[in-house]
Homo-oligomer: A and B are copies of this chain.
Amino acid sequence: MRRIAPERADLLAIVAEVFREHGYEGASLALIGAATRLGKGSLYHFFPGGKEEMARAVIAHIDGWFEDNVFAPLRDSPDPRGGIEHMIEATDSYFRSGRRVCLIGAFALDESRDLFADQIRSYFGRWVVHLAGALERSGHRPGEASELAEEAVAAIQGALTLARAANDLDVFSRALRRLRLRLGLPAKT
């Protein structure tokens, strides 16, 4: 037999989508197996820790994407406004303009939070800290920068919830437009 081993990143992306759509409890191994076209045996080969390990790996994968595409530019960009601009664009693209929900945010809300508390706290904490850093370097006072960063990350999460509740993508794009202004970027790109 021995099929070509699926790329772990591809596998994680598929599993992530199942968790995103059904939540931790709702994502059954049957659903995950159907989506990945992998039997339970293969799934347990890749993730000996079962469903919990799958979720941990998925969160880490998402976290890694944000580290590369959001946090690093915020941290390392010589022009802090460029880093913030990059963040807004990466966010819009990652969440598919509101079509996609934040898996880590969804996990934060229900009981699965207890299982993944450290990963969840780290993800949001680093987002806020790195955005605050960029805001500080772009001229905001430290306390103000922190508060603005927290507000911005919360606004994104809230907009995702509301967009999904209203089934209206414009809710999300309006939120990003307001965010641009509030964070000191020119309107539109």
Binding site for B on A (CB under 8 A): 21-26, 101, 104-106, 108-113, 117, 120-121, 123-125, 147, 150-151, 153-162, 164-167, 171, 174-175, 178
CA distance A178 to B113 in the complex (A): 27
Known: A124-B162, A165-B121. A111 touches B22 (CB 8 A): yes
- Interchain nearest-CB distance for A6 vs B (Å): 25
| Copies in the assembly, this chain | 2
Hey, which chain B residues are within 8 Å of A164, CB to CB?
108-109, 113
CA distance A34 to B156 in the complex (A): 37
Contact B166 A162 (CB under 8 A): no
- Interchain nearest-CB distance for A146 vs B (Å): 10
CA distance A30 to B25 in the complex (A): 15
Contact A26 B159 (CB under 8 A): no
- Interchain nearest-CB distance for A88 vs B (Å): 16
Contact A109 B111 (CB under 8 A): no
Contact B23 A167 (CB under 8 A): no
Question: Which among B111, B123, B151 is the interface contact of A23 at CB below 8 angstroms?
Answer: B111
